């Protein structure tokens, strides 16, 4: 006898998204003593996976990763959706809430195609479509040239193998979840900062659905939640859009949170850094850091943030 489905879980259909959905299902089943059939997966090909020849910022931004799942969630076709939190817009509909943040995986980026940034050959062609990765690279290695690389992890590795670029960046978390943890070389966060919420899986549900919220609470990881809430608070305070190059990393350190952030001009020529230590939950400290970063930024950087005079 199999259990009838207890939770309907929406996910994008990409291999990485499916791996994340399987991890979420496994954690739910372990926490509640369910068998696999208790969690029914609802995969969808997201708009963001369909148009691959233009930068995400041009075609609608991060909303394209969640559009279809948001509709299903709002209509009650599914009880919850699994997302890479770094792909989820900072401002979400009031009707939804982040019911669980799973234990965060490796937060770092990996460089594939060279063993370090210093080892990239002079004027190397590097594939990425993330403004943060492009600007951060050009800041450290202004001789390099950036070409657009979109598509899922396998597509990007395929483009690299086909010689479309000499190197690319991929999130360590994504590679590990795809069983490709040995690919590339992790970049030290002292040299290279990841994206806000990188490595975090979020499970979203309806804010008025107490039953699902209770089921998801069992797999929520409070330390990971504290980190990503701080990183997302920085994004919200900066008001950055898809075009802005924001790198941020928050870690637990000695009972406090340590947050480091950098803003870049799109060409990487300018960079503004900041770092703070604060008590978890003191998001006011993060807002002050955002104001401080912007006050030290050039007009070229500030132009990328909304709400600035």
Ligand X SMILES: NCc1[nH]cc(CCC(=O)O)c1CC(=O)O
Q: Give me the least distance between CB of 98 and ligand X, in Å please.
A: 14
129 binds ligand X (CB under 6 A): no
Per CB under 6 A, the list member of 68, 70, 79, 87 interacting with ligand X is 87
- The span from the CA of 116 to the CA of 203, in Å, is 34
Residue that has been written with the tokens 């657009």 in this structure? 148
Residue 35 appears among annotated catalytic residues: no
- The span from the CA of 176 to the CA of 179, in Å, is 5
Q: Which one of 5-13, 80-88, 178-186, 260-268 is the stretch in contact with ligand X (CB under 6 A)?
A: 80-88
CB atoms within 10 A of CB 186: 15
Q: Give me the least distance between CB of 84 and ligand X, in Å please.
A: 4
Q: How would DSSP label each residue in 231-275?
A: HHHHHHHHTB-TTSEEEEEEEEETTEEEEEEEEE-TTSS-EEEEE
Question: 5 or 61, CB closer to ligand X?
Answer: 61
Q: Which of 70, 79, 87, 209 is catalytic?
A: 87
Q: Give me the least distance between CB of 79 and ligand X, in Å please.
A: 22
174 binds ligand X (CB under 6 A): yes
Question: 200 or 263, CB closer to ligand X?
Answer: 200
Question: 113 or 174, CB closer to ligand X?
Answer: 174
- The span from the CA of 73 to the CA of 83, in Å, is 13
199 binds ligand X (CB under 6 A): yes
User: Taking a C-beta distance cutoff of 8 angstroms, is the pair 144, 136 a contact?
Assistant: no
Q: Give me the least distance between CB of 206 and ligand X, in Å please.
A: 23
User: Taking a C-beta distance cutoff of 8 angstroms, is the pair 249, 132 a contact?
Assistant: no
The token pair at 260 is 């480091």
The alpha carbons of the chain give a radius of gyration, in whole angstroms, of 19
Question: 170 or 257, CB closer to ligand X?
Answer: 170
171 binds ligand X (CB under 6 A): yes
Residues forming the site for ligand X (CB under 6 A):
84, 86-87, 153, 170-171, 173-174, 198-200
């Amino acid at each position: 006898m199999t259990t009838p489905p207890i939770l309907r879980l929406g996910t994008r259909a990409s291999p990485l998204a499916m791996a994340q959905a399987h991890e979420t299902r496994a954690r739910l089943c372990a926490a509640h003593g369910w068998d696999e059939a208790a969690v029914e997966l609802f995969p969808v090909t997201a708009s963001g996976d369909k148009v691959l020849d233009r930068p995400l910022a041009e075609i609608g931004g991060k909303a394209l990763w969640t559009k279809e799942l948001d509709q299903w969630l709002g209509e009650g076709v599914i009880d919850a959706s699994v997302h890479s939190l770094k792909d989820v817009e900072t401002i979400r509909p009031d009707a939804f809430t982040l019911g669980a943040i799973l234990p965060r995986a490796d937060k770092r980026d990996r460089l594939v195609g060279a063993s370090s940034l210093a080892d990239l050959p002079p004027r190397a062609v590097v594939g990425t479509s993330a403004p943060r990765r492009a600007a951060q690279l050009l800041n450290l290695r202004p001789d390099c040239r950036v070409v657009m690389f979109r598509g899922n992890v396998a597509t990007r590795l395929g483009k690299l193998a086909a010689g479309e670029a000499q190197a690319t960046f991929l999130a360590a978390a994504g590679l590990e979840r795809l069983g490709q943890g040995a690919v590339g070389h992790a970049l030290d966060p002292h040299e290279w900062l990841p994206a806000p919420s990188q490595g975090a899986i979020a499970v979203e549900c309806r804010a008025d659905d107490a039953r699902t919220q209770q089921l998801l609470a069992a797999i929520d990881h409070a330390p990971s939640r504290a980190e990503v809430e701080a990183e997302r608070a920085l994004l919200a305070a900066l008001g950055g859009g898809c075009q802005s190059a924001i790198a941020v990393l928050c870690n637990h350190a000695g009972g406090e949170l340590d947050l480091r952030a950098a803003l870049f001009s799109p060409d990487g020529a300018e960079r503004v850094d900041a770092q703070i230590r604060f008590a978890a939950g003191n998001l006011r400290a993060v807002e002050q850091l955002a104001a401080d970063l912007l006050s030290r930024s050039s007009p070229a950087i500030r132009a990328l943030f909304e709400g600035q005079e």
